[in-house]
Amino acid sequence: MTAQVITVTSGKGGVGKTTAVANLATALAMDGKRVVCIDGDIGLRNLDVVMGLENRIVYDIVDVIEGRCKLKQAMIRDKHYPEMYLIPAAQTRDKNAVSPSDMVRICKDLRPDSDFIIIDSPAGIERGFRNAIAAADRVLVVTNPEVSAVRDADRVVGILEAEEKGNPLLILNRLNPAMVKNNEMLSAEDVLDLLGIQLVGIVPEDENVIIGSNRGAPVVNDAKSRAGQAFRNIAKRLQGQEVPFMDFAQQGGLWGAIQRLTGRK
Amino acid sequence: MMNFFKRKSSASSAKERLQLVLVHDRTDLTPAQLESLKDDLLKAISQYIDIDPEAVQIGLERDGRSQRLVADIPLRSASHHRAG
């Protein structure tokens, strides 16, 4: 069996790509999958700290590409899940040190011994983004329910269409159900209608996400966290399982019930 | 309390504004270019048939991920034209 290569991208920075990669990878590893994460953000490495692996880096992806080490030597094993690895980005180099064909080659070498390869794309639509999508079998677009993030996500979806990268899947991150209820935040339905792509998960705003990244322990490890639950559900969907979407309207009590009855969003 | 007096919720402003922005982003057509496209279109059509420029509606519409240019161009009836 060969791995599925999944690239996580967004256009806009700061919407939660790296958090999504760390959490989805961890959730897949919790399900017993062999996972390799690749930090595609050359020069602005971050996946290592979010995963709590920053002290273990010896070699990075540019060392692999330039032949200073073997691929295996740049793969950092996770502290808790022995079948999960990180290939860190280079911190002192620029994005031109990697080409799309380098990414394709690295993923090809990783495929036979993994189930999932998850690539963290940098923000933007330039070289680093092109590298990140080059080897992708499937692209996840992360956005927030905000005008700037949705607009940039739409640009990225347009480029993915032009590049014939298949149908991207949407992760709507940092949804605040209370604000949606008060009509002061775009709802999941609004964002889906605007972007016109398929949804793979809605992640509610949850302070446990920041607590998790403070500790270098992704929030999926927290059984009680709503965001953690949302990421665990997305990981199941990526494995082809049907998982119902979490119902945030239920938190809305009576008003939520009325809205559901009247078919309003 | 201020919220009470606002005409529209911020979520619906966000959605309406994004609908417009995305259509222009996707087509790479500015509102000004769309206006000049409309003018040219009306001029071209007027050479062949009599239309009522005031009643014409031309705009971009979204259908999932695809865009279409939709024009509703009422014709002045030929009999009316001859009588006039």
Tens of pLDDT, residues A134-148: 999 999 999 999 999
> How buried is residue B70: exposed, middle or buried, by Cβ count under 10 Å (0-12/13-18/19+)?
exposed
**Rounded CA separation A110/A186 (Å):** 39
Question: What average pLDDT does the segment A88-113 reach?
Answer: 94
Question: What average pLDDT does the segment A32-55 reach?
Answer: 97
* Confidence bin at A84 (pLDDT 50/70/90): very high
**Record: contact B9-A158, CB cut-off 8 A:** no
What percent of chain A is modeled with pLDDT above 70? Answer: 93
A146, A150, A183: residue with CB nearest B12: A183
**Rounded CA separation B61/B22 (Å):** 10
Average pLDDT value over all residues in chain B: 84
**Rounded CA separation A132/A130 (Å):** 5
* Reported pTM: 0.88
Residue B84 is predicted with a pLDDT of 44
Instruction: State the complex-level ipTM.
Output: 0.85
B10, B12, B15: residue with CB nearest A194: B15
pLDDT at A264 > cutoff 50: no
- Dihedral of the alpha carbons of A219, A139, A10, B31, in degrees to the nearest 10: -150
Residue A249 is predicted with a pLDDT of 65
Residue reference for tokens 């919720």 = B9
pLDDT at A265 > cutoff 50: no
Tens of pLDDT, residues A28-43: 999 999 999 999 999 9
Q: Which residue ranges form the domains of chain A, and what is each CATH number?
A: 4-261 (3.40.50.300)
* Confidence bin at B31 (pLDDT 50/70/90): confident
Pick among B10, B12, B18 to test the A interface (most A CBs inside 10 A):
B18
Question: What average pLDDT does the segment A3-23 reach?
Answer: 97
pLDDT at A251 > cutoff 60: no
* Confidence bin at A1 (pLDDT 50/70/90): low
CB pairs under 8 A between A and B: 46
**Rounded CA separation A41/A47 (Å):** 9
Contact A169, A199 (CB under 8 A): yes
Pick among A146, A190, A197, A198 to test the B interface (most B CBs inside 10 A):
A190
**Rounded CA separation B8/A199 (Å):** 27
